[in-house]
Amino acid sequence: MIGANVSAFSIGKAVGRGGGGGPVLFSLTYAVQAGGGSGGNGNPVGGGGGGGLLTATDTTTYFTGTAYTVTVGAGGSGFITSIGVNGSNSTFAGHTSTGGGGGSYGGHEPAGSGGCGGGTGYYGAPSGTGIAGPPRQGYNGGNGTNQPAYGAGGGGGTASAGVNGTTSGGGNGGAGTQISASGLTQKFGEGGGGGAYGPVGLGGGNNSTGGGGNGGNEGWAGVLPQSGGTNSGGGGGGNAGFGGSGGSGIILLIYPTSVTATFSAGVTSSSSTHSGNTVTQITAAGPSDTVTFG
């Protein structure tokens, strides 16, 4: 099992096994990234947590001729409520990663918990918790600070916790997990940056390519928060005005080129080959969608 708390994830070779005229057993590597939570809006609001991430190489589970469920979770909607919205779960073959928690408005409600926890605002309401496992899916969000000029906590990421806000600005979102496979190099499940309020630094955020969105400080600096990247599972940035949306999730599958994959009509996917394996990215799939290997 490869945990989501590592800083890099390298795809190994998936070796086919079995024989005869019946179903063929083969090994498969997967990464299941859930949708990120959104930042809320208020004075100020913590960043949304990244969606949870599950990764592993299975050698005894998968057979040709069997349909396996695939669902890609949406990110939490931003720009709506003072409390951010949790992201939706992603699933492959019974392996379910949990959507990230929404950021919380200072002093009113705890931040959302999920795969990674949302950050909280300046009155010290509890930040959201991530799923520690085993297997771990992500980390906790950061806390805000109670001062005349203040920053909220960043959302948790799949590789580290969200940073606490300070009197200088919002806290950074927690780091995401880097996945590298067949030319794909991206961080997944990064936390959104915490919002800021008052004449202080803007809300912090890692804002890596495809990662969590930066926080904003609309009320004072006129800077809006950013949303998490599409198919990144990144959390949305918090803000003193309104919060950014969470990024949608993704599923990565790596299997031998001798095995084919057929998807149901609702699946959006793309594939490439690398070192004797097929690397498939599933960027959209509903709860009734499936993949069948042959």
pLDDT, one tens digit per residue, over 153-165 is 999 999 999 999 8
Distance CA 294, CA 282 (A): 18
- Asked if 184 and 200 touch (Cβ cutoff 8 Å), the reply is no
Please report, for residues 91, 145, 213, 282, the alpha-carbon distance to residue 222 in angstroms, rounded to integers and kept in the order given. 39, 21, 16, 37
Query: What does the pLDDT read at residue 209?
Result: 46
The helix or strand, by DSSP H or E, that contains position 62, with its residue range, turns out to be: strand 53-63
User: pLDDT tens for residues 98-128?
Assistant: 999 999 887 667 899 999 999 998 766 889 9
Nearest to residue 182, comparing CAs of 280, 85, 104? 280
The pLDDT > 90 percentage for the chain reads 56
pTM of the model: 0.91
- Asked if 52 and 189 touch (Cβ cutoff 8 Å), the reply is yes
β-strand partners of 8: 178
- pLDDT category, 177, cuts 50, 70, 90? very high
From 1-15, 30-44, 84-98, 270-284, the region with the lowest mean pLDDT: 1-15
